[in-house]
């Protein structure tokens, strides 16, 4: 069991998401940085999809009520176990009663904003429609369908003690960097209404920095930048949308749909951030600026394959190290 001592705000139980229920009007939810969650689980020899805690606001503190193997991935929150510093992206063992504290992320080498507390075995909350992710809009999944509160107790799936401690992995933010002019970048496919925007809007989309405003959360990121204009006013019927879709409402300032987006919308879509880059967006802090990079369908699939390759290489080396204590 993990006992939440200081929940911050908006910390939730997440796995890789509730896919396959969009037809029921149920959005995907899931980790904003799925790569940090999957890599943390691989480090602890869990299934990639095991549920962990997503922590967006700090300080955050939990107590382990029994000996527990854990790893903190995502942003570097200078983790401390009973006030002694411990490493991020590293497998640790906590004794019963020890307290883990996470502080506001530092941005020494990788600017990120969300931390993931992964636990050997995973967080044990009931599966709803095949996922343990918290669906905030529908108030189901996760722990009672809500963000964590002080005093919450989170059960842990019983493990076979396969996890090893005392080693770590390199964060993908450093291993798979993508920047344009010194700013984090994400690759974008032009969407259905792309051709209906003015040439200067196209130019601005690809060549200007876009600021992530304070009106950004798990539902969507509202961006600030040059005004994007359609050639003539457009009225669309509501249609299906997915995380990554970049909508342009009448004000001309784009909104990127994120993990808790509703599954339908009616604003014109200028582009879609590719699936393989949603984790970069999930780690981009409020107030930071990002760039969009034009990408083809084939490049989007290659990017997804590259991410898969990185994860399977991590899995291969972790298993090799844990089984043999050696790496070749």
Partner 1 sequence: MTNPLNHVDQLCAFLAATDIGLLELKGPAGVLRLRHDGARVEVEMIEAAAAALISPPTQVIRAPVPGIYLDRHPLRSQPSVAVGTEVAAGTPLAFLQIGPLLLPVPAPEDGLVAEKFAEHGATVGYGAPLIGLQPHGSDAE
Interface contacts to partner 1, rule CB under 8 A: 76, 87-90, 108-110, 166-171, 174-175, 310, 313-314, 317-318, 321, 326-327
Task: Give whichever of 125 and 169 is closer to partner 1, judged by the CB atom.
Answer: 169
Task: Give whichever of 100 and 248 is closer to partner 1, judged by the CB atom.
Answer: 100
What does DSSP say about strands 183-190 and 289-294: parallel, antiparallel, or unpaired? parallel
Residue 12 β-bridge partners: 54
C-beta of residue 58 within 8 angstroms of C-beta of residue 77: yes
Task: Give whichever of 85 and 126 is closer to partner 1, judged by the CB atom.
Answer: 85
Minimum CB–partner distance for residue 12 and partner 1 (Å): 23
Q: How far apart are CA 136 and CA 48, in angstroms?
A: 22
Minimum CB–partner distance for residue 156 and partner 1 (Å): 25
Q: Is 313 helix (H, G, I), strand (E, B) or coil?
A: helix
Q: How far apart are CA 115 and CA 98, in angstroms?
A: 19
Could you give the maximum distance between any two Cα atoms of the chain, in Å? 64
Task: Give whichever of 158 and 326 is closer to partner 1, judged by the CB atom.
Answer: 326
Torsion sign, CA atoms 75, 80, 81, 84:
positive
Minimum CB–partner distance for residue 30 and partner 1 (Å): 22
Minimum CB–partner distance for residue 320 and partner 1 (Å): 9
Q: How far apart are CA 328 and CA 321, in angstroms?
A: 9
Task: Give whichever of 71 and 136 is closer to partner 1, judged by the CB atom.
Answer: 71
Minimum CB–partner distance for residue 73 and partner 1 (Å): 11
Minimum CB–partner distance for residue 139 and partner 1 (Å): 35
Q: Which 3-state string (H, E, C) describes 87-144?
A: CCCECEEECCCCEEEECCCCCCCCCCCCEEEEECCCECCCCECCECCCECCCCECCCC
Task: Give whichever of 255 and 303 is closer to partner 1, judged by the CB atom.
Answer: 303
């Amino acid at each position: 069991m993990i006992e939440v001592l200081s929940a911050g705000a908006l910390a939730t139980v997440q796995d890789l998401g509730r896919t396959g229920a969009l037809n029921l009007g149920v959005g995907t939810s899931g980790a904003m940085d799925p790569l940090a969650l999957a890599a943390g689980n691989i480090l602890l020899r869990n299934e990639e999809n095991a549920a962990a805690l997503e922590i967006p606001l700090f300080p955050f503190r939990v107590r382990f009520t029994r000996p527990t193997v854990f790893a903190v991935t995502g942003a570097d929150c200078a983790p401390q176990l009973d006030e002694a510093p411990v490493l991020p992206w590293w497998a640790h063992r906590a004794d019963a009663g020890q307290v883990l504290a996470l502080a506001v992320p530092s941005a020494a080498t990788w600017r990120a904003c969300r931390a993931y507390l992964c636990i050997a075995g995973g967080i044990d909350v009931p599966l709803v429609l095949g996922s343990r992710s918290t669906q905030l809009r529908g108030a189901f999944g996760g722990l009672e369908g809500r963000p964590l509160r002080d005093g919450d107790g989170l059960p842990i799936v019983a493990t076979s003690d396969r996890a090893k401690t005392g080693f770590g992995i390199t964060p993908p933010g450093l291993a798979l960097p993508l920047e344009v002019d010194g700013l984090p970048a994400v690759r974008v496919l032009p969407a259905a209404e792309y051709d209906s925007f003015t040439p200067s809007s196209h130019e601005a989309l690809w060549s200007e920095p876009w600021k992530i405003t304070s009106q950004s959360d798990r539902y969507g990121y509202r961006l600030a930048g040059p005004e994007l204009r359609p050639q003539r006013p457009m009225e669309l019927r509501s249609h299906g949308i997915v995380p990554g879709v970049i909508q342009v409402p009448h004000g001309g300032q784009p909104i990127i749909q994120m993990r808790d987006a509703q599954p339908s919308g009616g604003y014109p879509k200028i582009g879609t951030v590719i699936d393989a880059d949603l984790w970069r967006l999930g780690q981009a802090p409020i107030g930071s600026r990002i760039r969009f990079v034009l990408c083809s369908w084939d490049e989007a699939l290659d990017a997804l394959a590259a991410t898969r390759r990185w994860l399977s290489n991590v899995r291969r080396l972790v298993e090799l190290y844990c089984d043999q204590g050696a790496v070749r």
